[in-house]
Structure 1
Amino acid sequence: MPIEKKTFQQIVGEMLKMLSEATEEFVYSKNVVRYSLPGKVLDVTSVEGTVNGVTRTFVRDVDYKFYENYIEWVYGGIRPDDGTKFIVTYKPERVEITDTSPGSVVRTLLEAVGREIEYLNLLIEQAYYSGFIDTASGESLDLVVAILGIRRKPPQPASGYVTFGRRSEPETIQVNGEIIFYDGSVEYVLKNRFVKEVSKVKGISNGVATEFRSEADYIISGNRIRWLPTGRRPDQGTTFTVDYTAYREISIPKGTRVSTYSPKPEEIITYITVEDSILKPTSEESWEADVPIVCTVPGPRGNVLAGSITVLPQPLVGIEYVINKVDITGGVDAESDRELRDRAKRALEIAGKATLPSLETTIKSVEGVSSVLVKEAVDNVPGIIKVIVDGGNAEKIVEAIEKTRAAGIKVEFSRPKPVYVDVDITLVLEKKVPEAEVSRKVEENVRSYLSSLKIGEDVLFYKVAALALAVEGVKDIAEIVIGAQRDEAVVRSEKENIVVSDEEKVLARNVRISYRRVE
């Protein structure tokens, strides 16, 4: 039942009414017509009681009459149930509180209390609507959708890449005599990553101290020294030394802060790097590093255009500039209530479509459908469902299937194969029992049972016998023969059940009754 919210005026009005009215409770007796009220009464405003177990407000001058200080039940009118209570609300001649005009002490107190009750009503209303997915909001909606295992998507910070760089070459360092063990490999890596120039490579070749020549004995590729197949090489198992000049590495540590520029501090947007990086030489004769960043505050505020991030709040050694060459995007607010509701409803629909009971329920809702059988993994092939439906419009059934089936699932729709059943019963009747009446009731019971059988349900021999014996006047059953016809094949049974496959349905054809009298 929807909650009914009362306004402030209604609340105050009802409290004022309570101050000017009184109630009296009576127990109704069918032998008593008149009930007296205490003191002198100006008027009776209502009489409420219970009639046939239901609360009712009685009608003045129709159900009861008011005379000075008592009420009297009217002959022919509606009265309370005997022994139940009824309540008379009336206006007494004298009331203890008389001044309830605006500005009075009583009125002021009532209005103050009324405000609190109004606020309480508001809280109750909010609590009521917080239990429904269409009306809940905020944290209440989070609790509702949690039943489906769904959580509100939190706000996401903007992210992207920012470029740290310098236009001039970094400071160089001189490395003398870096020792490398020669094991016959073609290529060896120097310890410093960015080699500017190799000045000398010395070692032992053919047992003689040798200074190897660049481009003749070796070449330098980045920070790697590669021995040429036609040149001299150090002797196996000896060491060689390399003198070279390298650029000092300029690193950008994880957690480095960058920001946009604004003369107003509150408008500055700050980002942090999420991984370590170092400057590398580019084809434009500068040194740069593209580093992933994320905004420190989630939400769309962090989405900025290319060129907006230009400030390095805390300078890094060797870094001359910072800039985002591409837009920073991806910042979104937390999922709104409307988006969360829609997602929860879609999840519920998808979950429902994935179940066989939901498919069966949907088909049963089609007008005229009397029985449904749903089979999964037909011929042991996953992804195929067979539905056998009795009754209903075929086009509407197919439409219901298409709306309900899960994606990727094939549903095969067919009608049940009929199994025509004939029942011959020989009854033993008691003396003087009318045969026609017994015959009608037995046939009615048997036909009702056969018609109630759903697709794939067997005809139970004991059930037919029990239904016949349940009719008054039947003393015993001499014989029951149940026949079942499928196409041209006929099966007759005098004791066994008629077995029906899950693609068949029983249709009652003939029910014949014969009799024997008890001597």
Structure 2
Amino acid sequence: MISLIDPDLVMTSNSNAGILARLFARREKAAWEQQQLTYYSAFISTASGASLDYIGGNLGLKRKVDEPSFAQIKITTQGEYLIQAGEQYETEDGYLFTLLKDVLTKKQEDGSWSGTGWVQCEETGQETNVPANSITVEANPDDAIISVTNPEEAGGGQDLETDDVYRERLRMENAARPGSTAAGIRSALMNLPGVREVNIVQNPFAEADKYGNPPYSVHIYCLGGNKQDIADCLADYIAAGITMVGRQELMVKDATGNPLKINFDFATEKSIYAKVVINTTDAWNIDQGADDIKYSVADYINDLQMGDPLYITRLYGPVYAIEGVDDASITIGTAPDKLTNADVKQKDFEVAICDPENVEVVVNGL
């Protein structure tokens, strides 16, 4: 094509031929970029958005959508009393929960009158997994009701799954299909709504392990999720004859309809605090730089898997990735007044979490 162009033709940016050449080149570039996106959309590692959803659909594994949380509440009344479905209760923070089925309070051994029922949050997202004893406010006060509370934290609430998280789950699904192996059980549990991480501690020896798990036992830890969903899933995939341990104990039915006792535990969340002291260059963004560091450090910590230690040296990468950081000093810890430059170790059932507000940024000279 180039050989067909007259070498004396003027191709400057303000000439007619130059302008036309640039228009053709721009359209050619856009066409090639679109073809490249189409090509990459066929692979898990490079697909994004709807293309990644299509791949997941082919594998029978859909993206997790945002879901509300569920909680079991205990209602104490003056005497026998019927609370109808649709009544609403809320937390001090304003999360509203709706009663799903009628609750009839009955007399207990201590002489009080109480009943339990399930409530669903009116909002969606991970933040709706409110802690225990936080659903205590009656949206419509009733003189017959003495108190309302949720003995255990709410579960099942989740955010819309991001491309990165969904992509990793698809990779794991290919590597270990749901089944009775440890990897298969983890894969099956990770597909449940609200479950963000799973760790399985196996004790194959004839004596108790360092955590006190009995011989030849399996101890499963889940971060997030609804305990009934988890128990039902384990009943489908746990191998016969396995001794399961954990404080969460539920009776479910196996595939044959026989009762099966399921034990597991929820993971322990360990809050991490950090202080970052920096010197800056002229490229430092005074308005946004400190917040960028907070989110960069928090994102790294929140991406750690259950049981992974937090190495302080690895936090310098996310900090230096922020433009304008010339020098940095970092201290971390599990309390804001106990920060050191030492690593934070974690047990197999612990997971590090960090809110950006837990990261203090000090800019020298400001």
* Fold shared by both chains (TM-score > 0.5): no
Q: Which has the higher strand share?
A: 1
Interval containing the TM-score (normalised by the shorter chain): 0.3 to 0.5
Higher Rg of the two aligned structures: 1
TM-score normalised to structure 1 length: 0.30
